[in-house]
Amino acid sequence: MSRADAQSVHQNRVILGCFEVHGDVYALDVAQLREVVRWQPVTALPKSPALIDGIVDLRGSVIPVIDLGRALQGEPLVPGTQTRIAVVEADGLTVGLVVDAALDVLSVETAALDDPPALATQAGYDATRAVVRRGDESPILVLSLEHILESVYRSALSAEGGS
């Protein structure tokens, strides 16, 4: 296989980091994933937006932390031995996302990616940017980090409007 062929194959694939949240599997593009670390207690930030659980000190950097269970499904995760913090970068921000477990890294052909169902997007659902079809297995939802950050901003505005 020539170098051009190898690049072509690579360009037709996307690499995804997969995580479990409340028994469901979600994925993030590894281009936005900086690292995955063991869960550590979060220090609360007084008067922070509702979806920010607090902060952690990660090797000298203070990182805000969002519980994906609460952000996606409304119920906070209960930390256990497999709980992790996925440190991601989006829109120039570094954020930690608490997940039940880090599962796998998948290399997926772009042909296996579909848009979320039209009815869901027309109804305002934009938490996922793609769906990975996996034959006989359940689909994997590829999260939109931009949507998650927008949810944090909206939670801050809701709190201001409610006070």
For the chain, list the domains and their CATH numbers.
Answer: 13-162 (2.40.50.180)
pTM to 2 decimal places: 0.83
Find how far residue 87's CA is from the centre of its chain.
Answer: 9
Tokens standing for residue 152? 């944090």
> Residue 122 belongs to what H/E stretch?
helix 118-122
Nearest to 163 by CA among 44, 71, 47: 47
User: DSSP state, 117?
Assistant: P
pLDDT, tens only, 88-146: 998 788 999 999 999 999 998 888 888 876 665 544 467 778 888 877 888 888 998 98
pLDDT, tens only, 45-59: 888 887 889 999 998
Integer Cα distance of 139 and 81 in angstroms? 26
